[in-house]
Structure 1
Amino acid sequence: MKLFQQMLVAPATLGLLASGANAAELNINGVSDYAASADQVTSVTQFSDVYPTDWAYQALSNLVEQYGCVAGYPNGTFRGNRAMTRYEAAALLNACLDRITEVTDELRRLLEEFETELAILRGRVDGLEARVGELEATQFSTTTKLKAKSVWVMGGTQATGDNYKAESKKSEGQRSAYNAEYGAFSLSYDLRLGLKTSFTGKDLLYTRMRAGNMGDDSVWDGNGVGLNKLDTAAPGGNLVEIDRLYYRFPLGEGFTVQAGPLTRNTEMMGYKATAYAKGGQKVLDFFGGSLGVPGVWNKETGGGFGLMYSNKKNVDKGDAYFTVAANYVADSGEANDSNPNAGGFMTDNSEGNITSQLAYGNKQWGLAAGYRYGQCGAKFRTGTEYASSGKWGTPCTVTNKNGEDVRTNADSHSWSLNAFWRPEDSGWMPSVSAGVGASYLNGNSAWENNTSKREMASWMVGLTWNDVFMEGNALGAAVGQPQFVTEVDNNGGDNLDDSNYAMELWYKFQVTDNISVTPAVYWLSRPYGDDTQNFKGNDKSLGVFGGLIQTTFKF
């Protein structure tokens, strides 16, 4: 036998040895019975299912006619297309070895020559089998993966500017009152544990557990002034809660359905038209999760469902594609309420949101137009203190002149435009993201007689530089006007001044693949808006400065 033929047989022998199988596992008696029951053939033509046109015909012919070590099945077939069992492989190898006795010494010399290498390979295989066995014994689930993130936030805020008193010289000034209650340095955390379960490989059952200590006493959850709210703000009380629970699955070509008791409208848009903080760490919620347009991207979470369509699979890789999405979400406090006078799902008191978006773009650039219809009580996320007071101007009931609570039939209509562009390669040119939006409030005569706000607006521009000073690091800056009232009714509307600017600057250090540290500063020029206290009718300035360090662990 030629040397290369000998080496074809040797690995087969070693493969069975390296597998770690012992005599009990191979069942030698069973192998012998199998080999004895199979009829030995002397010519490949004896197989009824082997033809000269088969790609392995010549190789099979050589094995049968030259070495006589291929046995067929009792019915005269070879069954070349079916998988081979370990018993059949052992029987075949045994038959070949029985007929190649003349190379036993050569095979022995080969084994001795590569004894060290073979021992190393066997050791590696044994180690891999042990590790696989351990993983199989301790694995959490065959269908579920855990993805987690923990963010630690330390820092503080300070109000600066004028300190005029509200009513009399005995009352505390607005600046002093803020600093006395929210001016301390603090350390807090947010922990998110996401369970991703797939039953078909294309669907997703998502469950997220969340805990934190950013509650009613923390500025990072929007206390002091609502615009302090961070994108990573967590619930307070160190209590674990479920804040996401939904199921997503494909429907036909290009369509995706998402539904659940805890789903979010902005996570059913199908496309996020922003590059701000991509590769970095978001800071203020207004610039991060709300994209500068909280009227539409209000991040409403509760019971709901949505439908998304994209033609991404029908275009060449990297080309722009369309995305169309629409969803309905009732507030989580109302969607599970069985009292139709206080809540319910798709009732007049659901605080429901119908949100839709049309987008076109790819990973390098994109455009999106959004719209949201909000029932009475539906939230607008973040804005000036004046804009966010009184349920944002859309209460479901008001008290008339007779002292009776009457329905207002209030609702809101919000629109948004978002766009972004980012360079193909990292460098001095940053990615640019922008958004602008407006909201319009409506209601019946009872609502008009008891409310004043009619229109609101917001905008932002954000810049992000990736791989700054070192690969993986990022620098970002943003400026804009969070939700502020632009129009009120005619009674006193001429004196409206709800303007406010927000700015942030951050730099992310990528310490390791799983740990990053992001120092950041931000400035809110006039977060109280039209509620800023003044002296003798003169408008004054009162701003809030924030500084913090966010440490992020991903695992």
Structure 2
Amino acid sequence: MKKQSQLNVVWLLALSTIFSLTGRAVGNEVPAALLVENADPLAKINPVSELAGIQPTDWAFQSLKSLMDRYGVVAPGYLDSALRGNRAMSRYEFAASLAASMNRISELTTAETANRAHQEDLETLKRLQAEFDRELEVLQPRLHNLETSIGYRIQPFSTTTELEGEVLFAVSGVGSGETADNSGDATDSNLTFSNRARLTFNTSFTGKDRLRIRLQAGNIPGIDDATGTDMARLAFQSDSDNQFELSILEYRFPIGEQAIVYLEAEGGDLDDFFTDTLNPFFSGSGRGSISRFAQRNPIYRQGGGAGVGVVYNFSESVSLSLGYLADEADNPEVGFGEAEYGAIAQLTLEPSDSFKVGFTYIHSYNSLDTGTGSRRANDPFNDESDAIIADSFGLQSTLEINDGLTVSGWVGFIHATAMDLPNNPAADIFNWAITLAFVDVGIENSVAGIAIGQPPKVTSSDFEVAGNTYEDEGTALHLEAFYRFPVNDNVDITPGVLVITNPEHDRNNTTYIGTIRTTFRF
């Protein structure tokens, strides 16, 4: 069966990488026949780490991603996550996903049903096949030979489920000085060594759908507690005393050729599942920015938990995302109607292969705390309101200047109203950021990132505390730099530094945070 063949490709490709790096099979010597066979054609092939990468903004990347979405293709292993998460790929990684797409579309064009591939999609596929003809030519025989030589030794994890793993370790520290919470206490400037582990199970029952289950454990402390401000929060913070917990339970399936429906039972986020945040090199917590703020526009962080979403692709260049998530939706006392919630609508346009822009609207209830801004921005009514309605507007864009530089940025505006206080006071909250990603700096597949922005700030308010308007008086700046470089195909190291000037928008000092993140993927 073609589906079984595609699943075998996942394991054979992984084993191929192990052979090329170590020269040994898992617990066994590499068969002599395979070594002899590899000695001729494959010895001339450059390692994957030395190959020119396919960037998320390349026409090939976007074209293949569109085809996979339209025809419900599940790529081998982590390659599907790479395409969904918009990270750079090697040409051989890309060819593996292309081969899976070719098999799927071939099924549709030969089956005796009304479901046929569009002619323009076939033309796109022909162009991709011609562009990656050499990689496909080398990849297919290699996988076939590996399956013949060692297939009898290795049993797949499951015929329907793929396992992905990620483990990261972080050494982090805070510069000496006072905390930003007006307590007069000194920051906790001791170095810490901590970790986070994720196991993700992706299951497909039809070849078009996907059930995702993620378990997560970690002991990474809150840097925001050490500094007294959420502006210093790291992207990968997680503390469950290293006990595994269910962090994601999600099922997605297509409707027709243009719509994908998401059902979230646990751990749903408006940004992760329904929308493209248009910040491709910063969005991941394991391989993106070191800070929470630089990952995406903070307005996306309103709402989470259980709910439903849909993405409708009008064309390759126009898509609409709609979603609704509620916290404690399983609680009979609140349900969907009374729980904290966030609802999103985003129109994403792609005028060219190198430019994208997104227009976002979010309506939320008691979900204003984004964990990125000042205390006033997270709670503009000083904990006196239990019914805060917020309307948020965002503009995001990303532009690939050239193969080595991508510039992204956003502005976000929130209008919050306390519905249970006299006269329904309102507050306006604003944030912005610009990010720059320099690709292949010194090392192939490396990324040097710079982020500059203003964390969420209360710019105006009708609410008063002790006769004073509850606004942020000063302006903080977020300055971040990191450099992610690969040790091999499965290990990345990312040193980074974060500087917050005038933290909490009202402190005349500066907060410094440094970290070294090491990420292992399998």
TM-score (norm 1): 0.62
Please give the alpha-carbon distance, in whole angstroms, between the structure 2 residues aligned to 1:212 and 1:374. 29
Structure 2 equivalent of residue 237 of structure 1: 241
Name the structure 1 match of 2:193: 187
- SS of 1:245's partner is strand
Please state how far the C-alpha of 1:487 moved relative to its aligned partner.
Answer: 0.8
Q: 1:446 aligns with which of 418, 421, 427?
A: 421
Which is further off, 362-371 or 193-202? 362-371
Output the CA distance in 2 between the equivalents of 1:358 and 1:145: 32
1:517 matched to 2:493? The reply is: yes
Give distance in 1, aligned partners of 2:177 and 2:246.
38
Native 8 Å contact 1:484 1:498 kept in 2:
no
- Aligned pair in 2 of structure 1 residues 325, 195: CA closer, same or farther (>3 Å)? same
CA displacement, residues 419-452 of structure 1 (integer Å, 9 cap, x when unaligned): 11013422xxx21111001101113362557x7x
Residue matched to 1:550: 517
**Percent identity of paired positions between Structure 1 and Structure 2:** 25
Given the alignment, which residue of 263, 276, 298 partners 1:259?
Answer: 263
Residues 137-148 of structure 1: pairs in structure 2 closer than 5 A:
139-148=156-165
Distance change in 2, residues 1:228/1:134 (3 Å): same
Which residue number corresponds to residue 209 of structure 2?
A: 203
* Alpha-carbon distance, 1:300 to partner: 3.6
1:514, distance to aligned residue in structure 2 (A): 0.8
The 2-side partners of 1:254 and 1:468 are apart by: 38
Residue 276 of structure 2 is aligned with which of 256, 267, 271?
Answer: 271
2:167 counterpart of 1:154 = no
Paired with 1:394 and 1:281, the residues of 2 have a C-alpha distance of 33
Taking structure 1 as reference, are residues 414 and 447 closer, same or farther at Cα in structure 2, changes over 3 Å only? farther
Shift of the 498–192 alpha-carbon distance from structure 1 to 2, 3 Å rule, reads farther
Quote how far apart the aligned CAs of 1:200 are: 1.0
Task: State the secondary structure of the residue aligned to 1:335.
Answer: coil
Once residues 164 and 134 of structure 1 are traced to their aligned partners in structure 2, the CA distance between those partners, rounded to angstroms, is: 58
Listed as ranges, the gaps of 5+ residues in structure 1 are: 1-124, 167-172, 316-320, 399-407, 533-540
Structure 1 CA distance for aligned equivalents of residues 276 and 501 of structure 2: 32
Letter matched to residue 550 of structure 1: R
Structure 2 Cα separation of the partners of residues 446 and 439 of structure 1: 19
Show the counterpart of 2:453. Answer: 480
3-state SS, counterpart of residue 242 of structure 1:
strand
Match of 1:336 among 330, 339, 356: 330
The whole-number CA distance in structure 2 between the counterparts of 1:504 and 1:268 is: 26
- Note the C-alpha offset of 1:338: 1.8
Distance change (3 Å), C-alpha of 1:236 and 1:409:
closer
Is there any run of 5+ residues in structure 2 with no aligned partner, and where? Answer: 1-143
Question: Which residue is equivalent to 1:357?
Answer: 346
Give the distance between the partners of 1:234 and 1:150, measured in 2 at CA.
12
Provide the C-alpha distance between the structure 2 equivalents of 1:509 and 1:154, rounded to a whole number of angstroms: 16
- What is the distance in 1 between the residues matched to 2:250 and 2:190? 38
Q: Which residue of 2 aligns with 1:89?
A: none
**Which residue number corresponds to residue 507 of structure 1?**
483
Shift of 1:459: 0.2
Structure 1 residue 370 displacement after superposition: 0.5
Q: Which residue number corresponds to residue 67 of structure 2?
A: none
Q: Return closer, same or farther for 1:268/1:129 CA change in 2, 3 Å cut-off.
A: closer
**Contact 2:321-2:346 at 8 Å conserved across structures:** yes
Do structure 1's residue 410 and structure 2's residue 388 form an aligned pair? Answer: yes
- Aligned-partner SS, 2:154: helix
- Partner letter of residue 294 of structure 1? P
Matches within 5 A, 1:5-154: 131-136=150-155, 139-154=156-171
Which of 428, 433, 436 aligns to 2:408? It is 433
For residues 308-328 of structure 1, give each alpha carbon's deviation from its aligned partner in whole angstroms, at most 9, with x where no partner exists.
Answer: 10134xx5xxxxx11101100
Q: 1:448 to 1:193 in 2, by over 3 A?
A: farther
Q: 1:379–1:330: structure 2 CA closer, same or farther, 3 Å change rule? A: farther
Following TM superposition, by how much is the alpha carbon of 1:409 offset from its aligned partner in structure 2, in angstroms?
4.5
Whole-angstrom CA distance in 2 between matches of 1:554 and 1:445? 48
Distance 1:189 1:384 in 2: 27
- DSSP 3-state at the match of 2:377: helix
- The answer to whether the Cα contact below 8 Å between 1:300 and 1:379 also exists between their aligned partners in 2 is no
Q: Write the distance in 2 (CA, Å) between the matches of 1:394 and 1:325.
A: 33
Residue type of the alignment partner of 2:381: G
After superposition, the Cα gap between the structure-2 partners of 1:274 and 1:311, relative to the gap in structure 1 and judged at 3 Å, is same
Question: Alignment partner of 2:151: what SS?
Answer: helix
Question: Contact conserved, 1:221 with 1:230, CA < 8 A, in 2?
Answer: no
SS at match of 2:172: strand
Per mean C-alpha deviation after superposition, the further-off stretch among 220-229 and 353-362 is 220-229
How many angstroms apart in 2 are the aligned matches of 1:253 and 1:143? Answer: 22
Indicate the residue corresponding to 1:325 in structure 2. Answer: 321
Work out whether residues 198 and 214 of structure 2, in 8 Å CA contact, stay in contact via their aligned partners in 1.
yes
**What is the one-letter code of the residue matched to 1:387?**
A
Partner of 2:135: none
Q: Secondary structure at the match of 1:134?
A: coil
Q: 2:421 corresponds to which letter in structure 1? A: A
Query: For the structure 1 residues 142 and 542, does the alpha-carbon distance in structure 2 shift closer, same or farther, using more than 3 Å as the test?
Result: same
Q: Aligned partners of 1:164, 1:367: CA distance in 2, in Å?
A: 35
Judged with a 3 Å threshold, the aligned counterparts in structure 2 of structure 1 residues 205 and 500 are, in CA distance, closer, same or farther, namely same
TM-superposed CA distance for 1:160, in Å, is 3.7
CA distance in 1, matches of 2:321, 2:256: 15
Preserved contact between residue 461 and residue 479 of structure 1 (Cα < 8 Å): yes
Aligned-pair CA distance for 1:496: 4.5
Equivalences for residues 458-469 of structure 1 within 5 A: 458-469=431-442
CA distance in 2, matches of 1:495, 1:126: 67
Match of 1:393 in 2: 381
CA distance in 2 between counterparts of 1:378 and 1:454 reads 11
Aligned position for 1:108 = none
Paired AA for residue 204 in structure 1: R
TM-score (normalizing by structure 2): 0.66
Distance 1:148 1:270 in 2: 24
Aligned equivalents of 2:398, 2:471: Cα separation in 1: 36
The verdict on how the C-alpha distance between 1:132 and 1:445 changes in structure 2, with shifts beyond 3 A counting, is: closer
Q: 1:516 to 1:268 in 2, by over 3 A?
A: closer
SS in 2 for 1:347: helix
Q: Deviations over 1:335-383 (max 9, x none)?
A: 221223xxx2x222x1011111001116522000111111134533310
Distance in 2 (CA, whole Å) between partners of 1:126 and 1:435 is 48
Whole-angstrom distance in 1 between the partners of 2:196 and 2:218 = 5
CA RMSD of aligned residues (A): 2.9
Larger radius of gyration: 1
Instruction: Describe the shift of the 1:495–1:432 C-alpha distance in structure 2 as closer, same or farther (beyond 3 A).
Output: closer
Partner of 1:470: 443
- Matched-pair contact (CA < 8 Å) for 2:224–2:231: no
